[in-house]
Amino acid sequence: MLTPTKGIAPDRALLAVGAQILLALDQPLTVSQAWARFKEQRARLGHHSPVPFEWFVLGLDILYALGTVELRRDLLVPTRSEDAAPTLR
């Protein structure tokens, strides 16, 4: 799921999706804008396998879990690694 498997194409692996979302998030965006840009981004990259919204949200969740994206006042904000929360022990 995170990484490509037999059933998941490399461009649909969640990590790849997350990377694509980050590419689209060059500035704080609403979720729907991010979704729209993400789809444009994929089209630009030539990935034609369909990614439903659900999958996109999972990608966002992964990014959040990794501390690279936050939701501030309904806007998705990319966070730099310094802002990231301290590592859990």
Partner 1 sequence: MLRRLSADHGSFRTVTFRPGINLLVADTTETSRETDSRNGTGKSSLVELLHFLLGAPAGKKSLTSRRALQKITFALTLDWPGDGRVTVQRQGCDPGFVRLDPDVRHDSGGLFDVAGPAVIPTAEWNRLVEQTLFGLGLDHPGISGRTMLSFLMRRIAAKAFNDAVRTFPQQSEAEATANLAYLLGLDWRLAAEFRELAARESTRRQLRKAVDDPVWGRIVGSVADLRGQIALAENEVSRLKDQISSFRVVPAYEELKNRADDINRRIRAIPNEDITDRRNLEDLQKSVSEAADPDTSYLERAYQELGVTLGRQVRQRFDDVQAFHASVVRNRRRYLMDEMNTIQQRLEARRREREQLGEELASVLKALEEGGALEALTALQQALAQKQASVDALKHRYEAAQALESSARQITAKRAELQEAMAADLDERQTQTREAILLFAEYARRLYGPEHEAYLAIQSGTNSLKITPFIDRGDSRGIGNMVIFCLDLTVAVIARRHGRGPDFLVHDSHLFDGVDDRQIAAALTLGAEVAEEEGMQYIVSLNSDDLSKAVQRGFDVEDRIIEPRLTDGSEEGGLFGLRF
Rounded Cα distance, 58 and 27, in Å: 20
Does residue number 61 form part of the binding site for partner 1 (CB under 8 A)?
yes
Structure tokens at 42: 């994929």
**Residue of 27, 30, 43, 44 that binds partner 1 (CB under 8 A):** 30
Does residue number 14 form part of the binding site for partner 1 (CB under 8 A)?
yes
Which residues, 6 or more positions from 9, have their beta carbon under 8 angstroms from its beta carbon? 49
Does residue number 77 form part of the binding site for partner 1 (CB under 8 A)?
no
Helix (H) or strand (E) holding 38: helix 31-45
Interface ranges with partner 1 (CB under 8 A) = 1-3, 14, 30-32, 35, 52-54, 57-58, 60-62, 64-67, 71, 74, 84-88
